[in-house]
Amino acid sequence: MRGGAALAARLAHAARLALTAMAALTALAALLPGAAPAEEIVLGLSADNVAITTTFDGSDLLVFGAVKRDAPAPAGPPLEVIVTVSGPLTPVTVREKERILGLWVNRDWIRVSAAPSFYAIATTGPLRDILTETEDLRQSVTIPRAIRSLGHDIENAGDFVDALIRIRTAQGVYRVQEGAVELEQETLFRASFDLPSNLIEGTYHARIFLTREGELVDRLDATITVEKVGLERWLFNLSRQGPFLYGLLSLVLAAVAGWAASAAAQAIRR
């Protein structure tokens, strides 16, 4: 269940403590010998597991970390941070409708082989300024790059993908939050994501990218498990493993609910 102001305050306090500890470890690591990338990500998550219950109405995910260096930050263009959170990939059929003689009918359609069920991007600045097209092609950071749609004979297949992005953006499951990553002294960073209530089960992937002048400096991946628990899990398993019993139980519950509503109405009339 979504936390209130107290939960948000606790998460922020915990993140500050974790970031302070990471900064201390970063400074210590810089004094130790050994070959390592010039700038490397040290990551933390407010949760690596999200439980979906009958009262689940969304959750907050805090991604925070530090940049570990073996030398002072290089002079020149500033360091930028990009954070993405992606849900399980699922196939999607996108159809084009056309109004003919007052009726809406399906015309062309394409099958998108894999589209994230949820995809959010948070950055320290405008995405087009902090990530080159080449790096986007390599890393599949932007939403169009994260969607796999290949091998279509339709000339305007790109319009179907644009329509899918537009629909899911309106639903709140595709988001671009430019400027939402807080970066302090090019060392400590944090980003907050509001996870919607309609999350599907599966493994979610968090990716953090460091860039300078649009070029990739370092990348780190982490996973978050989203799963149903309690009554939600029991009903889900029953619907998959015992569909006949699940259907029978649904009929019984519907009959009981109908009888209870009828009894209540008769009691009110009396």
What single DSSP character describes residue 33? -
Calpha distance 167→160 (Å, rounded): 11
**Do residues 177 and 192 touch, judged by C-beta distance below 8 A?**
no
Sign of CA dihedral 47, 48, 49, 50: positive
Residue 173, pLDDT score: 94
Q: Which of 148-162, 216-230, 240-254 has the highest mean pLDDT?
A: 216-230
pLDDT at 208 exceeding the cut of 70: yes
Note the CATH architecture for domain 5-228.
Sandwich (2.60)
Calpha distance 195→226 (Å, rounded): 11
Give 98's strand partners: 105
Q: Among residues 243, 204, 238, which one has the least CA distance to residue 221?
A: 204
**Do residues 118 and 201 touch, judged by C-beta distance below 8 A?**
no
Sign of CA dihedral 196, 144, 227, 47: negative
Give 95's strand partners: 109
The letter for the amino acid at 165 is: I
Calpha distance 60→233 (Å, rounded): 21
pTM flag (> 0.85)? no
Calpha distance 63→190 (Å, rounded): 6
**Predicted confidence band at 231 (pLDDT cuts at 50, 70, 90)?**
low
Q: What is the pLDDT of residues 36-59, one digit of tens each?
A: 457 899 888 877 778 777 677 778
Calpha distance 60→46 (Å, rounded): 9
**Predicted confidence band at 11 (pLDDT cuts at 50, 70, 90)?**
low
Q: Quick one: how far is CA 204 from the chain centroid?
A: 7
Structure tokens that stand for 183 in this block: 């970066």
Structure tokens that stand for 163 in this block: 């329509």
Q: What is the pLDDT of residues 156-176, one digit of tens each?
A: 778 888 999 999 999 999 999
Lowest mean pLDDT of 3-7, 44-48, 63-67, 148-152, name the range: 3-7
